[in-house]
Amino acid sequence: MSATCWQPSLRVSAGAGLGQPGGGGRSPGGRGPVPPVLPVLTLNNARLQLGGAWVLRDIVLSIRPGERVALVGANGSGKSTLLRLMHGLLLPTEGERLAQPGCLQAMLFQRPHMLRTSALNNVALALWLRRGWWRWGAWSASVALAHQALAQVGLLDQAHKPAKTLSGGQQQRLALARCCSFGPDLLLLDEPTASLDPHAKRDVEALIAELGQTKTLVFASHNLGQVKRLATRVLYLEQGRVLADLPVHEFFNGQVLPRRYPEAHLFVQGETT
């Protein structure tokens, strides 16, 4: 059954080299091995049944700190459901989800829900509830932090506008500010630039790239160009299974994919032609 506690016996293999996300290997001075880095999230043979059907099957994966993992696959392949499972909004019917204790995570939904209040309040209210509304001075501290969060996404000049009147790209940036305002270590993003115009897409993508410098990312995307630009690792899903799990350069390598993962190769060809 599902569990959210960490099992110390689970370790990441020290396969990745120095400078790679989650890399183990030798200490910077070359003075001996450094301890392996614990994954921020692990799914162990996770399976999920919804409405009587298996929508995720046999998911075995670990997300290491600093990785930027792209989920790709056709409509209905299970990307959003996998993100919800990773975030703990859905519990596996079988298998387990293990989250590193103390690792804060946040999720951005494809269509962010804006409260009927100002952009500033959308962030401040989330912070206020999260940081303990009953504490003395909580509201003014939340408002100050919300100002900082809006400044980081370039929306300070929109702070007092009703959030629902902002453009799609601005709402997406506001949702990112709200997600990041409490300093999550792991960000789960469901098609963060879908339905944005090319200009807003570039804007939001640049913001995600910047966030990816300090945070672990898992994002679903149909935009393979974006996957190439942002991801360090790609998971290809089909009918609720992860059929390919590769470093980004191997996923887009015309030699590796067709030979080892023909289904993923067909998908990439279909998306790029």
Per CB under 6 A, residues contacting ligand ATP are 50-51, 55, 73, 75-81
Beta carbon of residue 203, minimum distance to Mg ion (angstroms, whole number): 22
3-state secondary structure of 98: strand
Q: Which is nearer to ligand ATP, 26 or 57 (CB)?
A: 57
Which two tokens mark 92? Answer: 């596996």
Beta carbon of residue 218, minimum distance to ligand ATP (angstroms, whole number): 13
55 binds, among Mg ion, ligand ATP, none (CB under 5 to 8 A by kind): ligand ATP
Q: Single out the residue of 68, 6, 70, 60 nearest to residue 38, CA to CA.
A: 6
Question: 130 to 169, contacts with Mg ion by CB under 5 A?
Answer: none
Which two tokens mark 175? Answer: 């949702």
Beta carbon of residue 180, minimum distance to ligand ATP (angstroms, whole number): 23
Judge contact between 139 and 120, C-beta under 8 A: no
Residue 80 binds to Mg ion (criterion: CB under 5 A)? yes
Other residues' Cβ atoms within 10 Å of the Cβ of residue 96: 17
Q: Say how far apart CA 273 and CA 271 lie, in whole Å.
A: 6
72 binds, among ligand ATP, Mg ion, none (CB under 5 to 8 A by kind): none
Beta carbon of residue 89, minimum distance to Mg ion (angstroms, whole number): 13
Which residues partner with 26 through β-bridges?
33
User: Which range of residues in 20-28, 45-53, 73-81, 155-163 is near Mg ion by CB under 5 A?
Assistant: 73-81
Judge contact between 115 and 121, C-beta under 8 A: yes
Binding residues for Mg ion, rule: CB under 5 A, are 79-80
